[in-house]
Amino acid sequence: MGWENVRDEGRAADRALRSEVAAAVPVNAAQLPAAGLLWLLRSVTQDQYGAGTGGAFGPALLLVFAPLLLPLLGLFASLVLTLPATLLARPALRRYGGPEWAWRLAGAVATAVGWGAVTAALWHWPFATTAAVLTGLGVLPALALPYVRTRTWSQWGLWWRSALACAGLFALALGGGLGAVAAGLIKQYEPPKLTTAQLAGVWHGPSGAVLRLYPSGRAEATRLPAEPSDDGTATDVVLCDGAGRWEPGPAPDGTKRDGVLLKLDRSCGADTHWSISGTEHDPELFVLFGDPDAGTLWTLKRKT
């Protein structure tokens, strides 16, 4: 009899979790368009390193396929964020009591911090930013699910309410974003202006890349990427060791972004224009090889 009770409790817990995920999918889907819009508004304050955006074609595709994508993305968010937060919150709620939403919110924060640590360790994503974004995505499910679970709505009724909430959240995000732009709180990124003296120094990049720029105009490179000077396609990159000359100036392709035109000796690849990025206090040099929409980005940071 005791074993049957354990199995019945296990089945009941399994059904409760499935019901939780089913309710969480529309809730998570409702917030994703607004979250995507906020991410897009934030992206204008960040340097895109000359990468293309695909024009209006990409957003048009998203609008066309949104009815199919949102349930899938909502399911993914529910499994990755809401379900772990629920598994953390329920035992604490049973043991210590208190408001359910508070424990759910604590579970959402703990889940976000956990994923932030994982992504920082595996892919070197910024921990604080990742944890903050994931926490933001976990707030609405944490607050809404205790209410949703008390309703007698059908799955269809939950989804059309989710659609209304989605439209409202998107309108709120759009109005707030446009207001922030009009008030000057959101400004488009502009690269810093660096003098020749500021450009001179030692710059380091991935794969052991080193670029030394001397005030005299001399340059030395170690494992520095460049396009082949002959018989190479636009996506080929060679790593060069050599010396040459450098001079500040805008990019030759008419983008008007200041940078460094590097001319290495020994036929070590074609001349390369390294564009300025970052900030005045933390500058970067970058070059994008290949297609602007799917090229290879190399960045160099100045050694402090």
Walk along the chain (304 residues) and give the pLDDT tens digit of each residue: 455 554 555 565 577 778 888 899 999 999 999 998 888 888 888 888 876 555 445 555 566 666 788 999 999 999 999 999 999 999 999 899 989 999 999 999 999 999 999 999 999 899 999 999 999 999 999 999 888 888 888 889 999 999 999 999 999 999 998 898 888 888 888 888 899 999 999 999 988 899 999 999 999 999 999 888 765 444 578 888 889 999 998 877 666 788 999 998 866 778 889 999 998 889 999 998 877 666 788 999 987 6
Query: Residue 228's CB: how many other CB atoms inside 10 A?
Result: 15
Contacts of 38 (CB under 8 A, 6+ apart): 173, 177
pLDDT at 251: 75
pLDDT at 62: 62
Q: Which two tokens stand for residue 242?
A: 């050599």
Q: Which tokens sit at 5?
A: 């009770």
Give the pLDDT confidence score for residue 253 in this predicted structure.
Answer: 65
Judge contact between 302 and 283, C-beta under 8 A: yes
Indicate the helix (H) or strand (E) that contains 134. Answer: helix 127-148
* 272-278/218-226 β-pairing: unpaired
Return d(Cα 59, Cα 50) in angstroms, integer.
19
Nearest to 209 by CA among 232, 183, 239: 239
- Listing DSSP states for 156-210 in one string gives HHHHHHHHHHHHHHHHHHHHHHHHHHHTTSS----PPP--HHHH-EEEE-GGG-E
Cα 223 from Cα 263, distance rounded (Å): 15
**Per-residue model confidence (pLDDT) at position 140:** 92
